[in-house]
């Protein structure tokens, strides 16, 4: 039975679903495998990680959307200063990451140096349940956020550590701005940006791209 890929707002009560989706989506992500190297405990660690950043951070200060099999967290420019972990969130993340917490902090600090200084939308997280890939869930959420950024006339920024995802983003107008080698023998991280499109241009984006 297929599930709808129509985006809708993700509420805090959706945390179990959102966390389950993203834990599955990021199980094969190079950065998450670097931060959660143990195969046996990675699923539980990712579930706690996404639950924490969703319920304590993005659901309050970002634009969070989901379908029945995908989720995305966006940060508009007016929320940029607020959508950062507070002390309690940082402590919880440290508990989750354990001895990998310092590596995570170093990676975040390195990536932050490449964040655009001008007003922009950031795509913080997007992922689809592997069982539903190919049904357009990720593409639907990406189009929804890009439409909001285009309506505001603002560029969009994201980071990806999965090379196979780059063509997906490039299809929607993103280009690689920097290729970073994370400290501590970490994986590569690609910083990508997309300039705003006029509504008539945005309508030309193919709707058949899936993730």
* Domain interval for residue 77: 8-202
- Distance (Å, rounded) from C-alpha 23 to C-alpha 94? 18
Residue 30 lies in a domain: yes
**pLDDT confidence band for 211 (50 / 70 / 90):** very low
Cα angle 6, 11, 12; round to 5? 145
Residue 209 lies in a domain: no
The enclosing domain of 131 has a CATH number of 3.40.630.30
Average pLDDT over residues 173-202: 87
Tens digit of each residue's pLDDT (9 = 90 or more) over 1-38: 456 789 999 999 999 999 999 999 999 999 999 999 99
Residue 207 lies in a domain: no
**Quick one: tokens of 201?**
């241009």
Residue 210 lies in a domain: no
DSSP designation for 162: -
Tens digit of each residue's pLDDT (9 = 90 or more) over 17-26: 999 999 999 9
Residue 3 lies in a domain: no
Residue 208 lies in a domain: no
pLDDT in the model for residue 152: 95
Q: Based on the structure, what is the number of domains in the chain?
A: 1
Residue 144 lies in a domain: yes
Residues 6+ apart with CB under 8 A from 149: 76, 120, 121, 155, 156, 196
- Distance (Å, rounded) from C-alpha 95 to C-alpha 166? 31
Average pLDDT over residues 191-208: 68
Average pLDDT over residues 162-180: 96
Tens digit of each residue's pLDDT (9 = 90 or more) over 88-107: 888 999 999 999 999 999 98
Residue 86 lies in a domain: yes
């Amino acid at each position: 039975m297929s599930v709808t890929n129509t985006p809708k707002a993700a509420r805090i009560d959706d945390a179990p679903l959102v966390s389950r989706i993203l834990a599955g989506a990021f199980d094969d992500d190079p950065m998450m495998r670097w931060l959660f190297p143990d195969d046996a405990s990675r699923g539980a660690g990712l579930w706690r990680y996404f639950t924490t950043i969703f319920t304590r951070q993005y659901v309050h200060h970002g634009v969070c959307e989901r379908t029945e099999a995908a989720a995305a967290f966006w940060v508009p420019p007016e929320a940029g200063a607020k959508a950062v972990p507070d002390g309690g969130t940082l402590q919880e993340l440290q508990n989750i990451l354990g001895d990998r917490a310092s590596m995570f902090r170093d990676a975040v600090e390195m990536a932050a140096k490449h964040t655009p200084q001008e007003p922009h939308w950031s795509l913080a997280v997007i992922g689809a349940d592997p069982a539903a890939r190919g049904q357009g869930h990720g593409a639907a959420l990406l189009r929804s956020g890009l439409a909001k950024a285009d309506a505001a006339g603002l560029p969009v920024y994201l980071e990806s550590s999965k090379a196979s995802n780059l063509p997906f983003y490039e299809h929607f107008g993103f280009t690689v701005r920097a290729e970073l080698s994370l400290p501590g023998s970490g994986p590569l991280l690609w910083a990508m940006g997309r300039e705003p499109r006029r509504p008539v241009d945005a309508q030309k984006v193919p709707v058949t791209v899936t993730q």
